[in-house]
Amino acid sequence: MKIALVHDWLTGMRGGENCLEAFCQMFPGADIYTLIHIPGSVSQEIEKHKIYTSFIQRMPGARRRYRWFLPLMPRAIESFKLEGYDLVLSSSHCVAKGVKPQGAPHLCYCHTPMRYAWDMYSHYFNRERYSWPTLCAIEKIMPGLRRWDQLTVARVDRFVANSHNVAERIKRIYGAESDVVYPPVDVDFYRQAPVSGKREGYLVVSAFAPYKKIDLAIKVFNERGERLLIVGAGEDRARLKAMAGPTIQFEKPVSRERLRELYSKATALIYPGEEDFGIIPVEAMACGTPVIAYGRGGALETVIPLRDSFTENPTGVYFDNQAPDSLNSAINKFESDADKFKEEALRGHAEKFSAKLFEEKMEKVINDFLS
């Protein structure tokens, strides 16, 4: 069977690329179509496939500023000639689902309808980040992009959502039903690492994007005067570092081995943003580390919250509002009940999101789809 895998862009390994990697393992002979590819930025499993890129790849500055080419992305994804394929499998959080399948059955694994056009528009486009003329230009572009996004739903024969949270968005924005298959988490690799001494200090692991709300964690730990390690990179790095007090440290993206060590040494993971699903909390729990998470989005499906003394095998604590008082109260609650979080229970819960289960469920969905 000849298969085309369609992915928005290949510029680093994040949750979407973990899913694409799993698809590459399932279909070793598949071709990959993507808007832009930075060689060496993704795993060897992905890199060894034949990768076709769009005209955006050849445009000046695209490697560093590819998001600025958003107005051209619909045209770019439609430029691919997918002829002779038996299945088109898209992995989409932006425009990949809008590819023209040329008569082949099209299954879309949807990480989310593009968040900057819909639910999180104000997080991305506001006066704190862009000038008034830029915002005016974006306002003119966005209605057309939304119309295109909805019109191209007809090119998808079946949706698979990465969470019930995203399934609700697909229904609300696209008017389409979807199956739910949680993304793969490498729980075989992420497990308690041998570390000396007791767990010490809180941890944030995140891309530095506006909706991640890392600034909220910084405000709280500045006030508390407690140690916080922030691992990640992105467009907001300079602003976040300028906010941070002396007890807050930054570390650039690290190896998987180093990340496993940091999870294993952390008192808890702070997860202040609203995610579509959120692989990072599951990785932390696989290492026996509890999670203090904003109680919306994907965290509602991955974290078992401590509610009272009768909660069995909790894996974290929720906070209800993205405000310093709310996060601060959740940290205090966690610290007062820290003995209720058991490494074995955390590990056991994380195993429900394994890569093996992802592949088994996706194989069933694809077989049912093609039958």
322 in the same domain as 263 = yes
User: Is 212 a member of any domain?
Assistant: yes
Question: What is the gyration radius of the CA atoms in the chain, in angstroms?
Answer: 21
**How far, in whole angstroms, is CA 166 from its chain's centroid?**
12
Shared domain for 281 and 358, answered yes or no, is no
Same domain, 270 and 337: yes
Whether residues 321 and 253 fall in one domain: yes
Q: Please tell me whether residues 334 and 210 are part of one structural domain.
A: yes
230 and 253 part of one domain: yes
Supply the range of the domain harboring residue 29.
3-184+354-370
> How many domains does one find in the chain?
2
Residue 192 lies in a domain: no
CATH label of the domain that carries residue 304: 3.40.50.2000
pLDDT by residue for the chain (371 residues), tens digit each? Answer: 999 999 999 998 888 999 999 999 999 999 999 999 999 999 999 999 999 999 999 999 888 888 788 899 999 999 999 999 999 999 999 999 999 999 999 999 999 998 777 776 566 665 666 666 776 777 788 889 999 999 999 999 999 999 999 999 999 999 999 999 999 999 999 999 887 677 889 999 998 888 899 999 999 999 999 999 999 988 789 999 999 999 999 999 889 999 999 999 999 999 999 998 999 999 999 999 999 999 999 999 999 999 876 788 999 999 999 999 999 999 999 999 999 999 999 999 999 999 999 999 999 999 999 99
pLDDT value for 122: 61
Domain assignment of residue 174, yes or no: yes
Closest to 303 (Cα-Cα) out of 286, 328, 325 = 286
Whether the Cβ atoms of residue 120 and residue 43 lie closer than 8 Å to each other = no
Given this model, what pLDDT does residue 35 score? Answer: 97
pLDDT for residue 311: 82
Q: Answer yes or no: do 115 and 226 share one domain.
A: no
**32 lies in some domain:** yes
Q: Are residues 234 and 337 in the same domain?
A: yes
Identify the pLDDT of residue 36.
Answer: 97
Report pTM: 0.87
Q: What pLDDT is attached to residue 317?
A: 97
User: Of the candidates 240, 233, 242, which has an alpha carbon nearest to the alpha carbon of residue 207?
Assistant: 233
Q: Looking at the structure, tell me whether residues 154 and 213 fall in a common domain.
A: no
